[in-house]
Amino acid sequence: MPAGAAHRTRKATIVMDGKANAIRDRISTVQNTKKITMAMKLVAAAKVRRAQDAVLATRPFSETLQSVFGGLVDRMGGDTADIPLLTQREVKKVTICCITGDRGLCGGYNSFMIKKAEARYNELVAAGIEVDMVLIGKKGISYFERRNFPIRKTFECGQNPTSKEALQISEELLNTYLSGETDTIELLYTKFVSLIASAPAVRTLVPFSASEISEKGDEVFQLTSSSGDFEVERTELDAAEPQDFPNDMIFEQDPTQIVNSILPLYLNGQILRTLQESVASELAARMQSMQAASDNAGALAKDLSMQYNRARQAAVTQEILEIVSGASALE
């Protein structure tokens, strides 16, 4: 057989799990995947900045509301017995409000929150307390609906929570509590700690505590990119000072009525804030997941490159051996 014909009919050497050209195609696929995951990480980082700006934008209103509430409570002498949202009841029924995400690809963010809500539900039921649920986020809704949990209401919330969405949720919770259908409302959300850590948190949303509203401080976060790496700086903020109302100031309405009007606004602000914090936690978890995926893709591409080089070397060696053998046969 002529040497040219032998070269045309010769097949590529198979090494490990495929041919050299198949390995080359797989390397290209892995590299494209890495580009996608890195792009998703950067998109999530941009959205974290947007969530940060939204939190900062709500601060002036929250501080003013806290200041006015503190001043009114001081003016009333701490007597809040006539304010339903500040009155403690005997707990016979609890409504759990659980915030999860609408999308996946964010590590254990959704599963941690779902497990926390399910454990709290089982704990309350074991104590003989009736429980129903208000669910926010598609992941939590699909999980609890498939398992036939008692669900009162569901809401879908995207990655840019608005005051309108928070108002719909707060109205549902207020109507449930004021109508006597539940005795307390617990909020389960993910507290944003840092880009690499978040913590499922539980707090009693309603009834409120007057001292907590007037004395509780706040904290804001800011995404930075020092040394080329994303980091979060947290700033602790003191509680707003109670507004000083002079003793001779005359209110057109009774201070009790004003407080009753302020508390729904406060509830709306708290829900909006927890939605924003949960979204920030979800985005941070997605950033970490996409970074891990990018690192894994890089490591896999490196391993595949080594396999590809071995395959090429084996093919070249085989060709040299065949040429030498052919030359020896012609002598």
pLDDT tens readout for residues 108-135: 888 889 999 999 999 999 999 999 999 9
Any residues with CB less than 8 A from the CB of 17 and at least 6 apart, and which? 23, 307
Cβ atoms of residues 240 and 63 within 8 Å: yes
> Does 227 have pLDDT greater than 90?
no
> Does 315 have pLDDT greater than 70?
yes
Closest of 285, 229, 218, 225 to residue 56, by C-alpha: 218
- Residue 51 or 210, more confident: 51
pLDDT tens-digit map of 52-71 = 777 777 767 777 776 777 77
Q: Give start and end residues of each alpha helix (H) in 128-204.
A: 138-146, 163-178
d(CA 62, CA 307): 59
Cβ atoms of residues 97 and 185 within 8 Å: yes
* Cα–Cα distances in angstroms (integers) from residue 45 to residues 3, 123, 221, 223, 325, in the given order: 59, 37, 13, 8, 60
Please tell me the predicted confidence (pLDDT) of residue 7: 47
**Poorest-pLDDT segment among 73-87, 165-179, 221-235:** 221-235
Mean pLDDT of all residues belonging to the chain:
78
Please tell me the predicted confidence (pLDDT) of residue 319: 82
Cβ atoms of residues 62 and 218 within 8 Å: yes
Which helix H or strand E contains 203, and what residues bound it?
strand 197-206
Please tell me the predicted confidence (pLDDT) of residue 12: 46
Cβ atoms of residues 41 and 308 within 8 Å: no
Any residues with CB less than 8 A from the CB of 175 and at least 6 apart, and which? none
| Catalytic annotation, residues | 106
326: pLDDT confidence band, cut at 50, 70 and 90? Answer: confident
> Does 17 have pLDDT greater than 50?
no
CA angle centred on 243, ends 59 and 222, rounded to 5° = 20
CA angle centred on 70, ends 268 and 82, rounded to 5° = 75
- Residue 329 or 216, more confident: 329
Cβ atoms of residues 174 and 267 within 8 Å: yes
